Structure 1
Amino acid sequence: MASIFGHGLVAYTISKIGDRTSNKWLIFLAISSAVLPDLDVITFSFGIDYLHPLGHRGFTHSILFAMLWSVILAFIFGKNRKGIYFTILFLSTLSHGFLDAMTTGGKGVGFFIPFENSRYFFPWRLIKVSPLGIQEFFSEWGIRVILSELKYIAIPCFIILITLFIVKTKNHEY
């Protein structure tokens, strides 16, 4: 998996692209939704196998989960902006699986669970896989993960965010 920082930064960037109002509540929901799929690691403590549909990178990483979760949140919090909320939350939640499918470890992502249990990686696996434990994250492995995410997640996100800021500033001049 990518780290919580990488997932959060992508969701923040998606929310800034999709919502011109910079709604803090929507940003919070987007970041939370991007991190949420990894709660499936608790299934290990219940003896659920990694490759089980409810295992790590299973249903909570699927397209269907992203859709259902986003519909629920958009309905509850979206008020008169349900479409914007749904789109940003769907893309933020789905981005989790996409980033994980670009990592160097794990057993793939179950994008199509519950319809099909296969696990997938993208052909380009550039992001160093993050350790599951906090203690392991504060190690040489964790440093390699952060450097990898800086290169493949943070720099592209910052370029997008700076571009959005420049465009927004330029549009306000007129």
Structure 2
Amino acid sequence: MPTIMTHAVVPLAAAALAGRGTIPPKVALAGSVLAMLPDADVIGLRFGVDYADAWGHRGATHSLAIAGLVAAAIAAVWTQARNWPAFLFLFLATASHGLLDMLTDGGLGVGLLWPASEERLFWPVTPVRVSPIGAGFFSMRGVETLASELVWIWLPAGVLAAIGIAARRRRA
């Protein structure tokens, strides 16, 4: 998995690309939190849920189906999320977690298509170093992970955010 803060960067960059008029700051912040949420599945490991189970790490919680259910549940209780741009943003923010995890070079893959399939998927190219969990994050492997994330996720996200900001400034 990419580091938790990298998962938050993608929706924030997408919100900056779209602009405040389309994605208000509170919705952008909610999206960044939702992008980190799927990794809460690691709690199951402490309760005997096997990593490879459908509900194990990178399984159902990383699926498009769960991303849709989460976005729908939020839209049901939060009026600011009851429009198509906000709903779609929250869905994509949540879904971005699994899509990013599919770029990593380790683990069992992502249950993106659950419940239709329990197959674990990766992208054909996996350039992002998988993040060590726990104290291993503060190791040379953690540094390598951050370096690969900077190149493959943070830099492209920053470019997209800058494009959106520059385009709005030009129009103003």
**Counterpart in the other structure of 2:93:** 92
Q: 2:75 & 2:18 partners in 1: Cα distance? A: 14
Q: Deviations over 1:102-154 (max 9, x none)?
A: 10110000012122211011101000001121x11111111001100000001
**Counterpart in the other structure of 1:8:** 8
Gaps of at least 5 residues in structure 1 are none
TM-score normalised per structure 2: 0.94
Q: Deviations over 1:63-94 (max 9, x none)?
A: 10000001111222244742122110111111
**Counterpart in the other structure of 1:34:** 35
SS where residue 148 of structure 1 aligns? helix
Q: 1:90 & 1:141 partners in 2: Cα distance? A: 31
**Counterpart in the other structure of 1:150:** 150
Offset of residue 15 of structure 1: 2.2
Change (3 A) 1:50 1:37: same
Q: 1:170 & 1:17 partners in 2: Cα distance? A: 14
**Counterpart in the other structure of 1:57:** 58
Q: 1:87 & 1:3 partners in 2: Cα distance? A: 24
Offset of residue 19 of structure 1: 4.6
Change (3 A) 1:151 1:79: closer
Offset of residue 16 of structure 1: 2.5
Gaps of at least 5 residues in structure 2 are none
Q: 2:26 & 2:81 partners in 1: Cα distance? A: 14
**Counterpart in the other structure of 1:159:** 159
The letter for the 2-side match of 1:23 is P
The answer on whether the counterparts of 2:19 and 2:165 sit within 8 Å (CA) in structure 1 is: no
Q: 2:28 & 2:79 partners in 1: Cα distance? A: 12
SS where residue 91 of structure 1 aligns? helix
**CA-atom RMSD in angstroms:** 1.4
- Greater RCO between the two (CA within 8 Å, min separation 6)? 2
The letter for the 1-side match of 2:145 is V
Q: 1:29 & 1:80 partners in 2: Cα distance? A: 10
Alignment of 1:92-131 (within 5 A): 92-131=93-132
SS where residue 52 of structure 2 aligns? coil
TM-score normalised per structure 1: 0.93
